[in-house]
Structure 1
Amino acid sequence: MKLTIEDVRSRFIKHFDGQTGSVYTAPGRINLIGEHTDYNNGYVFPGAVEQGMIAEIKPNGTRNVDAYSIDLKDRVQFSLDDEKGPNATWARYIYGVCREMMALGVPVEGFNTAFAGDVPLGAGMSSSAALESTYAFAINDLFGENKIERMELALVGQRTEHKYIGVNCGIMDQAISCLGKAGHLMRMDCRSGEIEYFPWHPKGYQLVLVNSCVKHELKGSPYNERRLQCEHVAEVIAKKHPEVESLRDATMEMLDEVKNEITGAEYKRARYVIGEVVRVLAVCEALEIDDYEKVGQMMYDTHYGLSKEYEVSCEELDFLNDVAKECGVTGSRIMGGGFGGCTINLVADELAPNFKKVVVEKFEEKYGKKPIVIDVVIGDGARKLC
């Protein structure tokens, strides 16, 4: 069920003596293509979704924030001037955003707030970025005398993750949550920060997420390992081609030149990244001429690369990808870091009902649990609702 203003307002009124404030929202996201490219200075291609966070906020005339998480049924109070902040992780997101906005010179005052979200957890749709973006936008609107640009608000969210949560994330999730546009996907150059919007009006097609609801526990740090592998290959290539600063600058020919100087695993990782940079640009070109069959093929190619070359898939995600092929789905791939989570699927309208039915039945038959099917509508970024 879609989260509404009334869902949040009713709880705000209950917990804050019948008062009402201003209501803000920011979305979660999908990423159509461009996975594991961000830390290789490549491109990502996300879109904001209708699901997100909604928060009601009212200044309270103090230096304290009184926050209520509707979903967790938990209430936390903290002072804006406290150097340590609250212990509860969810409250630290709000605290971190407040502190980072204060660092930018925004005269943040105390407020009461209640919030809830309908971003599915574990689906790689970035509920944390939606939370950060909601409060960054709201604080800017309520207290900012000189309004801060949206990209800087996204950076506030990223710094919150780094400094107050301990997650060394990239900028994609916060950027699309702040800068998303309904009916458009956003290509972001992870080196320069440049963004460009591309129309998303797939007549005859729809986007469907299938959440496997599994997440495999991993030994070691596979993401860090892959990042180091990519950086090492770029360094080896740069000895012959000094213009190569990262794998984003490399070509398959350059990679083949150094094949005997790197490990087999490194070769596969680099092959995937170089191919993915090309695929993102190909998808952008295809969208400009409404070639959704090309978009779909690139998605399948990405899944193959993530599964066989980057090796971040798992049995369940590969199974979902196979079912998509069997059902005639135009494009399907892992979305997110991998090892669990969901697939994103580009499905022709006439095939969608059967695909949704079959994928649930087959997955439950094989794994004993139902996946969650989520219809995707591309929406707007952070905004005030009332």
Structure 2
Amino acid sequence: MEIDFVRSRFIKHFDGQTGNIYAAPGRINLIGEHTDYNGGFVFPGAIDKGIMCEIRPNGSNTVMAYAIDLKDRVEFKIDDPQGPRASWARYIYGIIQEMKKLGVDVKGFNIAFAGDVPLGAGMSSSAAMESCFAYALNDLFGDNKVSKWDMVLAGQATEHNYCGVNCGIMDQFASIFGKEGKLMRLDCRSREFEYYPFEPKGYRLVLIDSVVKHELASSAYNDRRKSCENVVETLRKKYTDRDIETLRDIDWDMLNSVKADISEEDMKRATYVLGEKDRVLAVCDALNKGDYGTVGQKMYETHDGLSKDYEVSCEELDFLVDMARKNGVTGSRIMGGGFGGCTINLVKEELYDKFINDATSAYKEKFGKQPKVYDIVISDGARKIC
């Protein structure tokens, strides 16, 4: 995202004045899928695509906001109990209300923003917006007294309370805490996290967007979550002396001991979750050693588990991962909840061009759709630009 682009639009729409410029990134998740609600670990990183805004206090109680990409302008009072109706403006309104709860004395301001996070590709454009706005308001009106974790939770609360999305914390966490060249292992239960080096020299990280989203996603998500809860309930009855909150708290011996007491489907779901817990820890060790071959192997294993045991893949995504295997790609898997979206691929430089050409042409021939390709670099989190 170009600073000059955002500034030129801000000047045009707000009387030739300038303000401060802030940015916050979208995110990828290298491994750790469907683990958040099972009390496990995720492994996100901030990316070099995100949201940028220019903002300036205007001495009133009114927010004047311009969405550059949408060419849409909205005005609303900070203390309006209803807030704006435009869905994009709800993110600004929600962050204002949540930051006020944290003691930030938000006054009226002018804001223009734009983004280069692809919408619907699973890179969390909404979390980038929330993080960008929260960071800006904390800097302008709060003297930076609000902690990074409170900004993360303000973003999550904005989704919950003003946008109708019951999300977790991974997206906002990655957008706020991201560091260039670092991935983060986040414990979804305790919120403890650790940075791990991710500077794969000789490799490129690329997303291939299947440009499909099947309707099964929401109901399937609920079904799988219920499967995990079923297994936990069965284990609680058997192991009354153990504190079992989620599948995070069990091991393979415990799972196998109740195999006869649970459905085949529930067993498959739990098998994936326990396997993913092991894979995340294996990737931690591999990253510390700079062993990207093992990282890639675990990515493939995750995809196989998501496809066969958790059954949240689809023909299009399996096809893209198969094309990665055929082209010698180091690692590939579905990224996100499933039934569409992107694959994330760790590709050696010398194989990159052939892989992209083969995968995109074969995909278009088979499915009649042109997939989108996004090169990704791991970058810094929310920040003030100037």
> Comparing 5-14 with 232-241, which one deviates more in the overlay?
232-241
Q: TM-score, normalised by structure 2?
A: 0.98
> Comparing 271-280 with 219-228, which one deviates more in the overlay?
219-228
In structure 2, the partner of 1:7 is: 5
In structure 2, the partner of 1:104 is: 102
TM-aligned CA deviation for residue 219 of structure 1: 7.5
Structure 2 unaligned blocks of 5 or more = none
Deviations 1:318-356 (A, max 9, x none): 000000000000110000111100000011111111111
Q: What secondary structure is seen at the aligned counterpart in 2 of 1:221? A: helix
> Where do residues 225-374 of structure 1 align in structure 2 (5 Å cutoff)?
225-241=223-239, 242-374=242-374
Judged with a 3 Å threshold, the aligned counterparts in structure 2 of structure 1 residues 186 and 144 are, in CA distance, closer, same or farther, namely same
> Where do residues 148-297 of structure 1 align in structure 2 (5 Å cutoff)?
148-218=146-216, 221-241=219-239, 242-297=242-297
Cα separation, 2, equivalents of 1:240 and 1:331: 39
Letter in 1 for 2:289: I
Structure 1 unaligned blocks of 5 or more = none
Q: What secondary structure is seen at the aligned counterpart in 2 of 1:345? A: strand
Cα separation, 2, equivalents of 1:244 and 1:339: 30
Cα separation, 1, equivalents of 2:116 and 2:218: 32
Deviations 1:223-244 (A, max 9, x none): 1221121112112112233232
In structure 1, the partner of 2:70 is: 72
Q: What secondary structure is seen at the aligned counterpart in 2 of 1:168? A: coil
Cα separation, 2, equivalents of 1:243 and 1:206: 42
Judged with a 3 Å threshold, the aligned counterparts in structure 2 of structure 1 residues 165 and 10 are, in CA distance, closer, same or farther, namely same
Deviations 1:5-50 (A, max 9, x none): 1111111111111111100000000000000000111000000000
TM-aligned CA deviation for residue 145 of structure 1: 3.5
Cα separation, 2, equivalents of 1:238 and 1:291: 38
Q: TM-score, normalised by structure 1?
A: 0.98
Letter in 2 for 1:356: I
Number of aligned residue pairs: 384
> Comparing 334-343 with 250-259, which one deviates more in the overlay?
250-259
2:45 matches 1:47: yes
> Comparing 312-321 with 223-232, which one deviates more in the overlay?
223-232
Cα separation, 1, equivalents of 2:258 and 2:192: 31
> Comparing 274-283 with 140-149, which one deviates more in the overlay?
140-149
Letter in 2 for 1:330: T
Letter in 2 for 1:232: N
In structure 1, the partner of 2:145 is: 147
Deviations 1:241-270 (A, max 9, x none): 323221011122211111121111111111
Cα separation, 1, equivalents of 2:105 and 2:217: 44
